[in-house]
Structure 1
Amino acid sequence: MRETDSRRGGPAGQQGMRWANLGLVLGEIASGPRSRAEVAAATGLTRTAVSSLVDELLTAGLLTESGPAVPSGRVGRPGTALALNPEGPCGLGAEIGVEHLAVCLVDLRGEVRGGQRMEICNRDRESAAVLADLAELLRATADGTALRPAGLRLAVPGLVGGADGIVERAANLGWTGVPAVAELRLALRAAGAGELAGLPIEADNEANLGGLAELWFGGRCGDFVHLSAEAGIGAAIVLGGRLLSGARGFAGELGHVPVRPDGPKCACGARGCLEQYAGQAAVLRAAGLDGVRGDWVALLAERAAAGDPAVLTALTVVGSALGIAAAGAVNLLDPAELVLGGGYAELARWLLPPMRAELANRLTVRPWSDDWLAASGLGRRGPLLGAAAGVVRAIIADPGRFATESAWQAIGAPGL
């Protein structure tokens, strides 16, 4: 079978093969410090080839030499251990929430190295104003670190179409057809952060990024559905260790699955959607807390723990509605696990029992266990962590492309 260079669509050239081998070497070292000899043994490359590739990765600032390697049972002097460079390029993540903005930095090892958060209501605000505030947070975060951001990924609570980063619809923000990536570049330049505006920038749905964070950091298997719930409700579908985005990138809109077709009208225009029973507005209204601002998830948890009957009843309704929708997802996709994430992970004590009851009542023709439904340990951190870590993982998977883009950025090439 002939290898092909996917960047050019033809037979793999020398550069394509070298880029692939750079990724092979860096991916091996990403799993833990390795000597050159250990990398050669694990990858099947010659020691000479590995040394050349390692030199290139060291020059690009992706690796560091961290002292003698741990003895591996081989005879002879131990080699030098190679590890991901904690002071190398980093991933910059940003999140637009209905009631907050947030930014974080993640280094090559996947560790959070900084960030900022602003509590602000973004519902029905003009996108330009929201992105201007976000640009200021990004600039301040980048100015406060010695790390070099290599890319920026934006988490948005809505449908994000394709590589152009257009938010087709974000009902809870009141946005339709917003070119978020292009507007963010303009906002960054206006904020005096032109170097950030020149980075590769992508946008994705917050639930998708939360699901990827669960895959990378949550210790999950490669087959699960991640239910992400705060102001709205979404889902990330991970099958075979890969995110299932759908033909147009809109898979996982669980919040707009009807759980009661004759129910109240939703902001999307349909009736009886899950969000009308389990979204922020619905649960606060049912709990007698309509209009509450600030950390409403923490408030619900506090009231529920104190035995507030209205809150406990509201959370039971939310859990039942989530269970109805989740049962449909299980029957359709057959995931190994369901994971309750986002803010609702903090309400798992009250939400999981009614969810499990609905799942048990509805999944009667197939195997199902209560243990296959669990709460995320990442909770509300998931989307932002997934955004920043996605940049880093792209570098590790394709370091040759990173080195090339970095060279172009160094001479001020536009459009990257």
Structure 2
Amino acid sequence: MIQPASPGQGAHQSRLRELNLATVVRALFAESPLSRAEVAVRTGLTRSTVSRLVDDLIAGGLVAELAPTGTGGRGRPGVPIVPARGTWVGVGLEVNIGHSAVRLIDLAGDVVAEHVVQADHTGSDPHRTLSEVSELARDLLAGTSTTAAVAGVGLALPGLVDTERGELLRAPNLGWGVVPAAQIVSASFGGDRPVRVGNEADFAALTVARLAPGRPSQRSDFLYVSGEVGIGSALVRGSEWVAGRHGWAGEVGHICVDPDGLTCGCGARGCLETVAGQRALHAAAGVESREELLARLAAGDRTAIAAVEAAGHALGLALSGALNLLDISVVVLGGHLGELSAQLMPTLSQELELRVLASPFDPPQVEPLVIDRSPAATGAALAALEGVLRDPASWISVPSVGAGGA
């Protein structure tokens, strides 16, 4: 006679199934398309277990089958499995000094819809601004033809963020103090989806570290430096950003490059962003926009050239210290720093070569990010989706009996 499983055994089987589902999802999202047989080889699970788990993932809208191609062993056609398109979306929100952005991205990494609004948020009311960008996201969701469900919301902000509590602690360039950002955005979405709040540079760095949700890029270890009005940065190791104990790591923009320099928005003197930040750089060059700065540089304007050289020098000082401390040799420049990388490089490279101790053995590499005015919105959406990939069992409504064994 078959004995029923004890409660402890049932809990064990349930937990084993959750772990195995996550293992299969990691394999499918890291490299696709894969057949069930290929997933079994990569994970060490039996083919029958993988088949049942994949069926659950298909039913839950996390993965999808393509048309059979070739043979998948023993003469049977192999059925490629890929991340599902248009079933679940991550909502990426970004509020920065000069713009707001919303980007909807599905599990395949496709941009379903997006909207960017140019606006000066300096000194704005945080509750009103966050409610407005949330409303923009809801309108975008309502206006698309997709029937995808919202997996989660990511919110990128330019300041010091308590990632555990979802609070913005300080954003000097916005003029915002302690703001319960996750609570405000969650209320706007009805409180039924998780909201992940992070620093804009951290989320932007995720777009460099990922080709799509769960799929690492070739850049696995680098320092991302984001340039807008302020300057932020994020350290990425093993394709994951290093947040630090409190989630505050990466404030390169507030490294001192001149103790007697200008007063920064944070209250200190001589921070990097007082020289290389976009607003400071434009003021020093006597221009109003990036386009005007580039035109002046092309025309050989001495004031503009001197301003960029000073910015490259200051950036070199700050990055040299960071690279020496972190043992990182790749720097990715985003925002206006990425756009000006060719003009910054002569002075910046000179400083890095002189000051980075490991440069004779592993010369620092500086790479511009492909121009995207709101990479943090993309990263915020990816972060929201990766919550699904970490715990796929919670997003599947049709469990498969007996899918826990290996």
In structure 2, the partner of 1:307 is 300
Deviation of 1:379 after TM superposition, in Å, equals: 4.5
Q: Take 2:358 and 2:104, find their aligned partners in 1: how far apart are those partners?
A: 46
Q: Could you tell me the TM-score, scaled by structure 1's length?
A: 0.86
Q: Take 1:369 and 1:360, find their aligned partners in 2: how far apart are those partners?
A: 10
In structure 1, the partner of 2:32 is 32
SS of residue matched to 1:80: coil
Q: Take 2:346 and 2:372, find their aligned partners in 1: how far apart are those partners?
A: 18
In structure 1, the partner of 2:90 is 91
Which runs of structure 2 are paired with 1:16-415 in the superposition (5 Å)?
16-30=15-29, 31-71=31-71, 74-145=73-144, 146=146, 147-186=148-187, 188=188, 193-194=189-190, 197-217=191-211, 219-289=217-287, 292=288, 296-364=289-357, 367=360, 372-403=365-396
Q: Take 1:182 and 1:206, find their aligned partners in 2: how far apart are those partners?
A: 18
Q: C-alpha deviations, 1:87-126, integer Å up to 9, x for none? A: 2111110100101100001111112121111111100011
Deviation of 1:403 after TM superposition, in Å, equals: 3.2
Deviation of 1:326 after TM superposition, in Å, equals: 0.2
Deviation of 1:171 after TM superposition, in Å, equals: 0.4
Deviation of 1:252 after TM superposition, in Å, equals: 0.5
| Amino acid of the structure 2 residue aligned with 1:78 | P
Bigger mean CA offset, 149-158 vs 331-340? 331-340
| Amino acid of the structure 2 residue aligned with 1:68 | P
Deviation of 1:400 after TM superposition, in Å, equals: 1.3
Deviation of 1:234 after TM superposition, in Å, equals: 0.9
- In the alignment, is the contact (CA less than 8 A) between 2:254 and 2:273 conserved in 1? yes
Gaps of 5+ in 1: 1-11, 408-416
Q: C-alpha deviations, 1:241-262, integer Å up to 9, x for none? A: 3211111111110111101112
In structure 2, the partner of 1:9 is none
Deviation of 1:377 after TM superposition, in Å, equals: 2.2
Q: Take 1:59 and 1:117, find their aligned partners in 2: how far apart are those partners?
A: 34
| Amino acid of the structure 1 residue aligned with 2:111 | V
- In the alignment, is the contact (CA less than 8 A) between 1:214 and 1:378 conserved in 2? no
In structure 2, the partner of 1:6 is none
Bigger mean CA offset, 275-284 vs 199-208? 275-284
Q: C-alpha deviations, 1:28-67, integer Å up to 9, x for none? A: 2221122222222222211221121112111111121211
Poorly superposed stretches of 4+, deviation over 4 Å:
368-371
Gap change, CA 1:158 and 1:106, over 3 Å in 2:
same
- In the alignment, is the contact (CA less than 8 A) between 1:166 and 1:178 conserved in 2? yes
- In the alignment, is the contact (CA less than 8 A) between 1:346 and 1:379 conserved in 2? no
Q: Could you tell me the TM-score, scaled by structure 2's length?
A: 0.88
- In the alignment, is the contact (CA less than 8 A) between 2:353 and 2:359 conserved in 1? no
Q: C-alpha deviations, 1:326-354, integer Å up to 9, x for none? A: 00001101113111112321111111221
- In the alignment, is the contact (CA less than 8 A) between 1:110 and 1:392 conserved in 2? no
Deviation of 1:220 after TM superposition, in Å, equals: 4.2
| Amino acid of the structure 2 residue aligned with 1:263 | G
Between the aligned residues of both structures, percent identity stands at 38
In structure 1, the partner of 2:403 is none
Ranked by relative contact order (alpha carbons within 8 Å, sequence separation 6 or more), the top structure is: 2
Q: Take 1:343 and 1:234, find their aligned partners in 2: how far apart are those partners?
A: 12
| Amino acid of the structure 1 residue aligned with 2:250 | G
In structure 1, the partner of 2:5 is none
SS of residue matched to 1:209: helix
| Amino acid of the structure 2 residue aligned with 1:69 | T
| Amino acid of the structure 2 residue aligned with 1:385 | T
Gap change, CA 1:307 and 1:401, over 3 Å in 2:
farther
Q: Take 2:275 and 2:160, find their aligned partners in 1: how far apart are those partners?
A: 21
- In the alignment, is the contact (CA less than 8 A) between 2:329 and 2:363 conserved in 1? no
Gaps of 5+ in 2: 1-10, 400-406
| Amino acid of the structure 1 residue aligned with 2:193 | L
- In the alignment, is the contact (CA less than 8 A) between 1:33 and 1:69 conserved in 2? no
SS of residue matched to 2:116: strand
Gap change, CA 1:36 and 1:168, over 3 Å in 2:
same
Bigger mean CA offset, 214-223 vs 235-244? 214-223
Bigger mean CA offset, 161-170 vs 63-72? 63-72
Q: CA RMSD in A?
A: 2.1
Q: Take 2:173 and 2:137, find their aligned partners in 1: how far apart are those partners?
A: 23
| Amino acid of the structure 2 residue aligned with 1:252 | G
- In the alignment, is the contact (CA less than 8 A) between 1:301 and 1:346 conserved in 2? no
Q: Take 1:377 and 1:16, find their aligned partners in 2: how far apart are those partners?
A: 42
Deviation of 1:369 after TM superposition, in Å, equals: 5.5
Q: Take 2:362 and 2:37, find their aligned partners in 1: how far apart are those partners?
A: 45
Q: C-alpha deviations, 1:281-318, integer Å up to 9, x for none? A: 211110112xx3xxx33332233233333222211111
Q: Take 1:368 and 1:271, find their aligned partners in 2: how far apart are those partners?
A: 34
Deviation of 1:25 after TM superposition, in Å, equals: 1.3
- In the alignment, is the contact (CA less than 8 A) between 1:34 and 1:69 conserved in 2? no
